[in-house]
Amino acid sequence: MSKTTELLSDLEQRVIARVHESEWLDLTTEMVRTGQPHSVNPLDPDILAGEEESIALFVAGKLEAMGFEVEKFESQAHRPNVVGRLKGTGDGPSLMLNDHLDTYPAVEPERWDKCDQNPFKATRHGDWLYGRGTSDTRGNLAASLLAVKAVLDEGVRLKGDLVCCYTVDEEKNGLHGSIYMTKTMGLKTDYSITAEPTAWGGETEDWGMNISVANAGNCLVELTVTGLKSHIWRPDTGVNAITLASTLVEPLNTMSFFHTPAEMMGHTPPCVCVVRINGGLPGEMQFSPDSCTMTLAIVGIMPGMTIDTVIKDITETVGNVLGTSEEVGFTVCQVPDSLFVGGTEPVPEDQEPNLSITSAYQKLLGGTPHINRKNAFNDTIRFREAGMNAVTFGPGEDGWSPINEGISIPKSVAATKIYALAIMSILGVSE
C-alpha cells in the first residue's frame, strides 16, 4: 500500500478512482474548439469583446446532466454567465468553483506549430496538451467539472451547498462577468476556488501548484507626448514626438510606484509594461509627427494603490525626463473604457479553502503547496472584493504562452483529484 493510499479514506479512494486521464483529455479537447474563435476576448478596450454563448451552453449542459439547478445571467447579449447550484443537506458551508468561459486571442496562428497552425485544435505531445485556452483556462475548467462528477458519481451527499459559476468577460477584468454576478445578481458563497493557472515547474520532474491567496492588480494608462511638426527634410526645425516617446521607454520600465510593501508580493513589484506606441498620421510621411501615444499596462498593483497614485507617479517620472519647454508637452490618463483593478488582501493560510486544498495536496502529492500572490487578474479578485474567502488553484502553468499555449496532463489529473477531495472536506459528507 502506497503512502498516498494510507492517507486516504475508503470513500476518498473510491472518488479519486473515478478520475481518468482520458476523460479529461476528451473534455478539454472538445472545449478548446467549442465556440471558437467567437469566445476570444482581448483586453484591448478598442477591440470588440467575445461572445461566449456556445461554450456557456455546453458547460450548462454538463452541469444539468450532473443534477445541478442551472441558471444563466447576462448583461450583454450572447454572453451568459452560467451558475449551477447543488443544494446540500443544509448543515454545511457554501463553496463556489469558478472558472471563465472566454479566452485571449491567437493573433498569429501560423506560429502555432504544436497544433498544425490551428490554435483551437488541441494536440497532445507527450505529457502536454497544446491549444489556445488549454491552460487559460479550458483545461482547468475541465478539471473542476470532472472533480464534481467524480464526487457525485460515487453517490456522495454533500452537507453544504456547491455552486459552480463559470463567467464571461474575465479577460477584460470581469465587468460583464464576475462584477455583474456579485454586484448586480448578488452572488456570494462562504468560500470560492477559482480553477486558474497556479502550477509551476514546466516539464521538469520537480513541479507543483501554488495556492494563490491574493492577487496583484492592473490598469491601462495612456501617455500622449506632443512636439512640433516639421518637414522631414528639416527635422532640426521641429520636435519629433516619436523620438521624445522613445526616450521615455527605459525610465518607464525602471520607475518605482508608491506602494506599501507587503509580506507577500507578486512575481513582480508594481511596474510598467509598454504595450503600444502609436505616432504619425497616414498621408504625412513627409512630416515628423507632433503627437505620439503610448499605452502602458501597469501590473503588480498592491492594496492601497489607486488610479490617481499611479497617474501621479507616471506624471512625475515623465516630467523629470522631458523637463519644461513650450514645444514639448504630455498628458497622462486612464485608457478610456478600461478598469482599474486593485490588489487584494490575502486569505489567511489557516482558513478555508486553504486548509482543505493543502490537506488534499499533501495526501495526493506529498509536500505542501506554495502560498503566493498571483500577479495576474482573475475572477478571484472580484469574489474577494465581495467578501468571500476566495483563492486560486489550478493545473495550468503560472505563466502565459502567447504561442503554443499548453497544459500538463499529469498536473491536470492531479488537480482534478485535489478538487474532489477539497469539495468533500469543505462541504462535509452526509452519512
Q: Kindly list the domain boundaries of the chain, sorted by start residue.
A: 3-215+343-427, 217-334
Q: Tell me, what's the pLDDT at 1?
A: 29
- Which architecture does CATH list for 3-215+343-427? 3-Layer(aba) Sandwich (3.40)
Q: What is the DSSP string of 269-301?
A: -SEEEEEEEEE--TT-TTEE-SEEEEEEEEEEE
Q: Which residue spans within 178-270 are E strands per DSSP? A: 191-194, 199-200, 208-209, 211-215, 217-226, 230-231
Interval 53-83: pLDDT, tens = 999 999 999 999 999 999 999 999 999 999 9
- The whole-angstrom separation of Cα 216 and Cα 268 is 9
Write out pLDDT tens, residues 321-353. 999 888 999 999 999 999 999 999 999 999 999
pLDDT, average across residues 262-282? 94
pLDDT for res 4: 58
Cell of 156: 456522495
Alpha-carbon separation of residue 260 from 229, 310, 326, 372 (angstroms): 42, 13, 36, 17
Phi-psi region of 143 (alpha: psi -120 to 50; beta: other; left: phi over 0): alpha
Give bridge partners of residue 84 from the DSSP assignment: 70, 164
pLDDT of residue 431: 79
Q: What pairing do the DSSP bridges indicate for beta strands 128-130 and 406-408?
A: antiparallel
Cα angle: 373, vertex 374, 376; to 5 degrees: 145
Q: Report residue 48 as a C-alpha cell.
A: 470588440
The topology under which CATH files domain 217-334 is Alpha-Beta Plaits (3.30.70)
Using DSSP's 3-state secondary structure scheme, residue 426 falls into: helix
Give the Cβ contact number of residue 342 at 10 Å: 18
